[in-house]
Amino acid sequence: MNIILLGPPGAGKGTQSGRLVERHGMRQLSTGDMLRAAVAAKTPVGLKAKAVMDRGELVSDQIVSDLIDAELESMGPSIGAIFDGYPRTADQAHQLDAILARHGRKLDHVIELEVDLDALIERITGRFSCANCGEGYHDTFKQPKVEGVCDRCGSTEFKRRKDDNEEAVRTRMDEYRKKTAPILPIYDAQGIVSRVDGMADIDDVTAAVEKVLSK
Identify the CA nearest to 6 among candidates 144, 185, 167: 185
Whole-angstrom Cα distance, residue 89 to residue 184? 10
Whole-angstrom Cα distance, residue 172 to residue 63? 18
Task: Name the binder of 135 from Zn ion, ligand AP5, none, CB < 5-8 A by kind.
Answer: Zn ion
Whole-angstrom Cα distance, residue 57 to residue 53? 6
Whole-angstrom Cα distance, residue 171 to residue 56? 5
Q: Is residue 144 a contact point for ligand AP5 (CB under 6 A)?
A: no
Q: Contacts with Zn ion in 146-185 (CB under 5 A)?
A: 150, 152-153, 155
- What residues contact 196, with CB distance under 8 A and at least 6 apart? 111, 112, 113, 114, 205, 208, 209, 212
With left for phi above 0 and alpha for psi between -120 and 50, is residue 200 left, alpha or beta? beta
Whole-angstrom Cα distance, residue 15 to residue 72? 21
127 annotated active-site: yes
102 annotated active-site: no
Known binding residue 59? Answer is yes
Q: Is residue 35 a contact point for ligand AP5 (CB under 6 A)?
A: yes
Catalytic residue among 161, 170, 179, 195: 161
Shortest Cβ distance from residue 117 to ligand AP5 (Å)? 12
- Considering only the stretches 22-30, 105-113, 134-142, 201-209, report the one whose residues sit in contact with Zn ion under the rule CB under 5 A: 134-142
- Considering only the stretches 39-47, 94-102, 147-155, 197-205, report the one whose residues sit in contact with ligand AP5 under the rule CB under 6 A: 197-205
Task: Name the binder of 10 from Zn ion, ligand AP5, none, CB < 5-8 A by kind.
Answer: ligand AP5
Q: Are 96 and 65 in contact (CB under 8 A)?
A: yes
Binding site residues, Zn ion, CB under 5 A: 130, 132-133, 135, 150, 152-153, 155
Binding site residues, ligand AP5, CB under 6 A: 7, 9-15, 31-32, 35, 52-53, 56-59, 64, 85-86, 88, 92, 123-124, 127, 136, 138, 141-142, 163, 172, 200-202, 205
